[in-house]
Amino acid sequence: MSCDVQKLREDFPLLRQTMRGKPLVYLDSAATSQKPRAVLDTLHTYYERWNANVHRGIYEISDLATQHYEAARAAVARFIHAAEPAEVIFTRNATEAINLVARAWGDANVKAGDVILLTEMEHHSNLVPWQLLAQRTGARLEFIPLDGQGRLDLAAAEKFFNDRLRLVAVTQMSNVLGTINPVAAIIRHAHAVGAVVLVDGAQGCAHIASDAQKMDCDFLAFSGHKMCGPTGIGVLYGRKRLLEAMPPFLGGGEMISVVDWREFTWNHTPWKFEAGTPAIAQAIGLGAAVEYLEKVGLDAIHAHEDTLVRYAWEKLHELPGFRPYGPPPDERGGLVAFTLDDLHAHDIAQFLDQQGVAIRAGHHCAMPLHKKLGVAATARASFYLYNTTAEVDALVAALRKALTFFGIETKTTVNV
């Protein structure tokens, strides 16, 4: 299947709604995506027909719940080309997946004087867990700097690739700049000095075909809700050898093999990392989401978003005072963060809300990056498989109205 966007939109009931009496133009999929009927139906079916706890019942519906839960794990493993389903751990979201690695792998493997290498474009979720690990261990945080166009300046980070480097944690795609990073090259370089690499796939995996084995990452973290799945479910992919050597993250039911008063033995990977009753319905819903995305095709989705972002780039540049952040469309995914003259990003977003256009404004959980960019906040339009060029036109028309409303229509275009 390819991206027949008009047909595809029929799969997403929420998109039929109006907002403020106007047709809803949803341009905030980088925050969370909308859900197709196939996912909503799966959640419904789960609760109506299979709802029981997993891995413990001896009766039929518990068996069904377990089978569907584990089938979802297998579907996710296939989606990211993991070597086997045991390398897929269900978490709450990408944030929890990253924290799991920082705690379970980090505490056991990182010591004072080691270097943890991040980038200047990381979301707080791929920054704060490493700050906490550095505080616990005495490790040092270093950052791959950005060049003037919001790309990673790998030459400037060359000095960090030595035997002190223990971990590189890098985003596959920036949620602000849109930059798609050369993660495979970074991984090769890090492995050459014996470092482990975590890829934050929260933005990437939803939009770009991601092959964990080809990428050769050690860990890959992502969130179900950004890829047509339910909230409350995320994934940590881990190389099996590393997962097996790691202690558990949380303790409780499910993650044990045998428990005595003063000690316990661990269950096998992945259940070792899934303490307590997991998000069963949500995991099964995520399984339906990845099957839906596979049917449309990640390459078709990426090509569609590429068309949208190129179109948006051209049209937005016609607005006086439009200033985008990050590289040109060739090197970015389907989002554009920008400022418009000296309008505050929140004023822009609030005005657009009145026009039925939903975008995000703020620091997008990347405060240090915004500091580096020299702006307190940006407005961000982000696209997914269900967006259209007509919606880009609606965005541009609404921004034009905002310029008129705030009395800024005559200034010249600023191209950056």
- Known catalytic residues are 365
Binding string to ligand 7TS for residues 342 to 381, with x set by CB under 6 A, is what? ------------------x---xx----------------
Phi then psi for residue 156, to 5 deg, are -70, -15
Among 31, 86, 209, 300, binds ligand 7TS (CB under 6 A): 31
Q: How far is the CB of 199 from ligand 7TS (least distance, A)?
A: 10
Nearer to ligand 7TS, 93 or 387 (CB): 93
Are residues 267 and 320 in contact, defined by beta-carbon separation less than 8 angstroms? Answer: no
In one letter, which amino acid is 14? L
Nearer to ligand 7TS, 66 or 175 (CB): 175
Among 99, 175, 282, 339, binds ligand 7TS (CB under 6 A): 175
Q: Which residues between 228 and 267 bind ligand 7TS (CB under 6 A)?
A: none
Among 93, 119, 210, 387, binds ligand 7TS (CB under 6 A): 93
List Cα–Cα distances, 235 to 65, 79, 221, in angstroms. 19, 12, 6
Q: How far is the CB of 235 from ligand 7TS (least distance, A)?
A: 11
Under rule CB under 6 A, residue 76 binds ligand 7TS: no
Q: Which residues pair with 258 in a beta bridge?
A: 265
Among 8, 89, 94, 395, binds ligand 7TS (CB under 6 A): 94
Neighbours of 7 (CB within 10 A): 9
Q: How far is the CB of 200 from ligand 7TS (least distance, A)?
A: 5
Nearer to ligand 7TS, 50 or 178 (CB): 178
Are residues 341 and 180 in contact, defined by beta-carbon separation less than 8 angstroms? Answer: no
Q: How far is the CB of 171 from ligand 7TS (least distance, A)?
A: 5
Nearer to ligand 7TS, 123 or 323 (CB): 123
Which residue shows structure tokens 């990347």? 366
Taking CB under 6 A as the binding criterion, the range among 1-9, 119-127, 152-160, 284-292 that sits at the site for ligand 7TS is 119-127
Q: How far is the CB of 377 from ligand 7TS (least distance, A)?
A: 13
Three-class SS string for 216-250? CCCEEEEEHHHHCCCCCCEEEEECHHHHHHCCCCC
Q: Give the DSSP H/E element, type plus range, for residue 40.
A: helix 37-45
CB-based contacts of 59, cutoff 8 Å, min separation 6: 52
Binding residues with ligand 7TS: total (CB under 6 A) = 17
Give the C-alpha separation, 380 to 89, whole Å.
Answer: 31
Are residues 340 and 377 in contact, defined by beta-carbon separation less than 8 angstroms? Answer: no
Closest listed residue to residue 135, CA positions, set 160, 121, 159, 116 = 116
Are residues 270 and 175 in contact, defined by beta-carbon separation less than 8 angstroms? Answer: no
Are residues 140 and 114 in contact, defined by beta-carbon separation less than 8 angstroms? Answer: yes
Among 126, 181, 267, 269, binds ligand 7TS (CB under 6 A): 126
Under rule CB under 6 A, residue 282 binds ligand 7TS: no
Under rule CB under 6 A, residue 203 binds ligand 7TS: yes
Give the C-alpha separation, 93 to 365, whole Å.
Answer: 15
Q: How far is the CB of 114 from ligand 7TS (least distance, A)?
A: 23
Under rule CB under 6 A, residue 179 binds ligand 7TS: no
Helices 280-296 and 60-79: crossing angle in degrees, nearest 10, is: 40
Q: How far is the CB of 27 from ligand 7TS (least distance, A)?
A: 12
CB-based contacts of 147, cutoff 8 Å, min separation 6: 153
Tell me which residues touch ligand 7TS (CB under 6 A): 30-31, 93-95, 123, 125-126, 171, 175, 200, 202-203, 223, 360, 364-365
